[in-house]
Amino acid sequence: MRISGRVALVTGASSGIGRASALRLADAGARLLLHGRDRDRLAALAERTGGIPLVGDLAGAGEADRLAAEALRLVEAVDIVVCNAGIGWAGPFEAMGAGDIERLVAVNLVAPMRLTRALLPGMLARACGYLMYVTSIAGRTGVAGEAVYAATKAGLDTFAESLRLEARGTGVGVGVFVPGVVATEFFARRGRPYERALPQPLPADRVADLLVDQIAAGGAERYAPGWLRLPVAVRATMPGLYRQLAAWFG
């Protein structure tokens, strides 16, 4: 996928992986549409990259459709979509409020689906485009204390895989990016900071390098870091052993 000169929409661009990916895409020559909730941060990023800020919260009803409509009003076509916006919640499932459940499902799963539904037809008509979905290792292995978050990321993972099969031969690529622990504000926002000694969080700019390289290569899947394939493989081939290890190490 040629990035230079293409229009890329990045959701969740005001911080973390989204911001770092937007900077990397700008360096590669992309024209940017920058979505996020923080107006000031988004404005600063837009000034730095020459992108267009689109402020909004994907938890709101119809917000993904509004975002897609505004994007298509501003540009002739959206060539690359990075569905990165996501929120977490940490703690026992029984302590989670119904509103929290609905917000996670809306932002992490429903919004990417609706955004895709609005922008995919144009890509198919042009026989060119790339859809990138930022999921999580939690969606491939499950994580105690993050049941709903893990479920939304697993759903997004399966949605992307199914969409890839549908889009085969159309000129539209579909990729999944599966990060582990990344040094962003995500953990503080979910209500529980990251306190493990290992694994060490990856820098967001390094993760963004891998993500944008995947877009350029038209790749279907990438883990960050790569060794995360190992626990996923153990879970798939030896589920009993995996559950024992998960119980011991958390």
pLDDT in tens, 157-203: 999 999 999 999 999 999 999 999 999 988 888 888 887 877 899 99
Domain of 160: which CATH number?
3.40.50.720
- Across-strand partners of 10? 34, 82
- Of the residues 149, 194, 223, 242, only one is catalytic, namely 149
Count CB-CB contacts under 10 A for residue 92: 9
Residues ≥6 apart with Cβ < 8 Å to 191: 88, 89, 90, 91
Is residue 1 assigned to a domain? Answer: no
Number of domains in the chain: 1
Mean pLDDT computed over 88-97: 96
User: Where residue 242 falls among pLDDT bands split at 50, 70, 90?
Assistant: confident
Please spell the DSSP secondary structure of 74-130, one letter per residue. HSS---EEEE-------S-GGG--HHHHHHHHIIIIIHHHHHHHHHHHHHHHHT-EE
Q: What is the pTM of this model?
A: 0.95
Q: Which is higher by pLDDT, 59 or 243?
A: 59
Domain hosting 133: range is: 7-249
- pLDDT computed for residue 190 by the predictor: 84
Residue 196 lies in a domain: yes
149 classed as catalytic: yes
> H helices within 130-181, ranges in order?
138-141, 147-167
Q: What is the DSSP letter of 224?
A: E
Position 2 in a domain? no
Long-range contacts of residues 127-130, Cβ cutoff 8 Å, at least 24 apart = 127/170, 127/171, 127/172, 128/79, 128/171, 128/172, 129/78, 129/79, 129/80, 129/81, 129/171, 129/172, 129/173, 130/1, 130/79, 130/80, 130/81, 130/172, 130/173, 130/174, 130/175, 130/215, 130/218
